[in-house]
């Protein structure tokens, strides 16, 4: 039989994973690599949580940029800084 027919092309279904899982995987892989370079093991590199936020306009983007620029200067007083454990 030479009649044409239709068939559905086999395609893989892309499964979307939560952002938290992606960030967790990034933190795990990068921590392992950093600790290999530092020749130590099991030492945390990242703070525990993250903050996800949709940037909706230019003002918000600029505010977040400013936060990123200024944030390292606040590390000395940050409660996550290991030097501040006994404070």
**Tokens linked to 26:** 């990034």
Return the percentage of the chain with pLDDT > 70, whole number. 86
pLDDT at 59 over 90: yes
The predicted structure's pLDDT at residue 38: 94
The predicted structure's pLDDT at residue 80: 80
Q: What is the mean pLDDT of residues 29-39?
A: 95
Q: Residue 2 — very low, low, confident or very high, per pLDDT cuts 50/70/90?
A: low
pLDDT at 3 over 90: no
From residue 81, alpha-carbon distances to 15, 25, 40, 73 in Å are: 37, 23, 19, 12
pLDDT at 69 over 60: yes
């Amino acid at each position: 039989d030479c009649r044409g027919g239709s068939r559905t092309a086999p395609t893989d279904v892309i499964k979307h994973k939560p952002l938290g899982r992606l960030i967790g995987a990034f933190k795990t892989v990068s921590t392992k690599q950093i600790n290999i370079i530092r020749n130590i093991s099991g030492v945390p590199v990242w703070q525990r949580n993250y903050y996800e936020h949709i940037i909706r306009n230019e003002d918000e983007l600029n505010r977040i940029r400013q936060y990123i620029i200024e944030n390292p200067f606040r590390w000395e007083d940050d409660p996550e800084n290991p030097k501040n454990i006994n404070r």
